[in-house]
Structure 1
Amino acid sequence: MAWTLVTPSSRGIGFALTRHLLRTLPPAIPIVATARSDLPGTKEKLLSSLNLAESQASRLDLQECDVLSESSISNLAAYCKERYNDRSQNKGAHLRLAFMTPGMLMPERAPDKIEYESALETLKLNLLAPMMLVKHFSGFVPRKSTKLEGVEGLPASAVLALMSARVGSIGDNRLGGWYSYRSSKSGVNQLVKSTDIHLKMQSGPNAMCVGLHPGTVRTDLSKEFWNNTPKEKLFSPEFSAEKLIEVVNGLNEDSRGRCWDWAGKEIPP
């Protein structure tokens, strides 16, 4: 049996991704979603107005997780191992798709605008949080010996998808600024590559890691820049989620270890 993960899921792109998976995946595929607090309220919002059958709604497994706390991530992983991945209990499931979406943005326009504590928080959330998620969840993907079956709505191989950004590209950096955000997303791209090398050794073609750029999305993270973004380039979270899932479902062996934007175009390192 396959299972999926979206963390965090309480707002923004993670929220939209979770709702999209609830609408489109077969009812037998569990969706583990996370929030730091108010699980009942978050679950109600995630299911609101979707008009799902009971079998579709009941597979939403919302769990508490603070992605800034390794112990919280470790507790979530222990729960998922016991519930879904514990082969000793003949459950034999594999993590087939994980969206790791934590992010924040401090737009420093010059070096003298960098504040140590803000930069540190940016690096913690944008880079160390996905690093710890990779640490605790990369072992749940299928190994080389596993014969994967196709699942409607899921990519052919298991995918760990980390949220990157176009501004994380060093080669594409023509404007400068955004020091902590750019640096953190460049780090994510390196994390993607190193994780993918590990997965290729561990799982062969059965698992990969990629980075994703969602575009400029109408979320709290980008709110300061809505007025300066052309209307056709400012996406709703729902549109971005749909496009990212299309990209992930279109991945092949040549796609691994790289960063892809919402339109399926590669973002250079």
Structure 2
Amino acid sequence: MALWTLISPASRGIGFALAKRVLQTTSAPVVVTARKDLDKIKEELLQGEDFDESRLKVLKLDVLDESTVADAAAECKSLFPPKSHQLQLSFIVPGLLFPEKSPSQINYDDALLTFRTNTLGPMLMLKHFSPFLPKKNAAPNENQDEMKGFPSIATTAIMSARVGSISDNRLGGWYSYRASKAGVNQLVKTFDNHLRTASGDNAIAVALHPGTVKTDLSKDFWGNVKKDKLFEREWVAERLIDVVKGVGVDGRGKCWDWDGKEVSP
């Protein structure tokens, strides 16, 4: 089976850094998605690199528009027929934050957009891209050169956050973001239960907590974070890939932070 990778979206932030890192450390095709400026994103990902640019495919996809998700999946089906290819690694990382400090600050439209982006978006991605994962009877890939840089098990990783943990919630606030990420953790567990039946030990799903990263999502809160806990996106991408490669079957269906430690539900 030939392998490929999906990172969605990869227009900026952690997604961009993950795409860059995967291109640097593997030799298989990489599909990334963005809502706009596809050529610009491809140019930026290729800048300063010497890998074969034909490995990189940039597709239009907006998790708020299911038709674009379906179209991207259809294009991937033509590029990577499931009978001869499998999606070995996917990072699904859309994110949106409205930091409500009190119930009075909750805005219906903002909260709905948060759930559509953070929770329903990944749900639609699983709907359309899960057929690319290996089945239970799939033979293991024994080509060590092709497997270099990949987890040994086909892994779907969805971006969560520590604030999505109910047991860890001691401060309150951030109502829509917390709830949407708690939903992500439930989504990952439910999808992994599906994979147990459909794929056995050939595919797993996990949630990830990247910590506080220097991206547009968190820039308003950098001043409240200790310097040693505010991470560059490139460093976090490297750590998250290492975590995904090391989780294994025993870690399936759980949320893991950038340091490889489990985040309790």
**Which aligned pairs between 1:185-264 and structure 2 lie closer than 5 A?**
185-264=181-260
Shift of 1:6: 0.2
Amino acid paired to 1:261: D
Q: What's the C-alpha RMSD, in Å, of the aligned pairs?
A: 0.9
Counterparts of 1:113 and 1:208, CA distance in 2: 38
For 1:99, the equivalent position in structure 2 comes to 91
Counterparts of 1:68 and 1:267, CA distance in 2: 28
Are 1:126 and 2:118 matched, yes or no?
Answer: yes
Secondary structure of the residue aligned to 2:31 is strand
Which residue, 101, 108, 113 being the options, matches 1:109?
A: 101
For 1:74, the equivalent position in structure 2 comes to 70
For 2:163, the equivalent position in structure 1 comes to 167
Contact kept, 8 Å, 2:189 with 2:205, in 1: the verdict is yes
Secondary structure of the residue aligned to 1:58 is helix
Shift of 1:239: 0.7
For 1:17, the equivalent position in structure 2 comes to 18
Shift of 1:61: 0.8
Contact kept, 8 Å, 2:18 with 2:238, in 1: the verdict is yes
**Which aligned pairs between 1:27-42 and structure 2 lie closer than 5 A?**
29-42=28-41
Secondary structure of the residue aligned to 1:81 is helix
Contact kept, 8 Å, 2:222 with 2:230, in 1: the verdict is yes
Q: Which runs of 4+ in 1 moved over 4 A?
A: none
Counterparts of 1:161 and 1:19, CA distance in 2: 17
Counterparts of 1:135 and 1:37, CA distance in 2: 22
Contact kept, 8 Å, 1:162 with 1:212, in 2: the verdict is yes
Unaligned runs of 5+ in 2: none
Amino acid paired to 1:144: K
Higher mean C-alpha displacement, 78-87 vs 165-174 = 78-87
Contact kept, 8 Å, 1:3 with 1:30, in 2: the verdict is yes
| TM, length-normalised to structure 2 | 0.96
- Count of matched residue positions in the alignment of Structure 1 and Structure 2: 260
1:121-176 alpha-carbon deviations (Å, 9 max, x no partner): 11110001000001111111000111121501000110110000000000000000
Shift of 1:85: 2.3
**Which aligned pairs between 1:1-12 and structure 2 lie closer than 5 A?**
1-12=2-13
Which residue, 167, 177, 181 being the options, matches 1:181?
A: 177
| Percent of matched pairs sharing the same residue | 53
Contact kept, 8 Å, 1:23 with 1:52, in 2: the verdict is no
Counterparts of 2:116 and 2:58, CA distance in 1: 23
Shift of 1:105: 0.7
